[in-house]
Amino acid sequence: MNNNGMMEKEEIFSKVLRAGRRTYFFDVRATKAEDYYLTITESKKFTNDDGSFHYKKHKIYIYKEDFSEFKDILAEMTDYIINEKGDEVISERHQKDFKKEYEESTPRVTEDELKTPENFTDIDFDDI
């Protein structure tokens, strides 16, 4: 069997959820015995200092014999989070206008402190 035929056989049904810099792929795939299972892949985009980027992927496989319990526990956990914290996102990082603040290594100096005589530099105009 060629690779193209294998890909068609392997990917039966797919859905994508884009969530910021994360993308979740839900794929129904077939085993060699022609049974189906689910893969959930989290793909997270990282940007390098030079502007290039790469993705890190994590994948889990869920088989039919685990569907019922998986679905029940997932529903229980998501319901618990919503009941305890509501459905509003409270993390700053998930706000559209979020900008990460970096700590400065030097202490902040107020404008009044800058105006003190100790902060002026003596300039000898002959040096210019």
Q: Are 27 and 8 in contact (CB under 8 A)?
A: no
Query: What does pTM read for this prediction?
Result: 0.59
Question: Is 74 within 8 Å of 67 (Cβ atoms)?
Answer: no
Residue 109: predicted pLDDT? 53
**Tokens at 92, concatenated:** 């700053």
Distance CA 122, CA 88 (A): 57
Q: pLDDT grade, residue 61 (50/70/90)? A: very high
Q: Residue 2 has what pLDDT? A: 46
pLDDT of residue 5: 47
Averaged pLDDT for residues 16-39: 93
CA nearest to 38, candidates 3, 75, 71, 64: 64
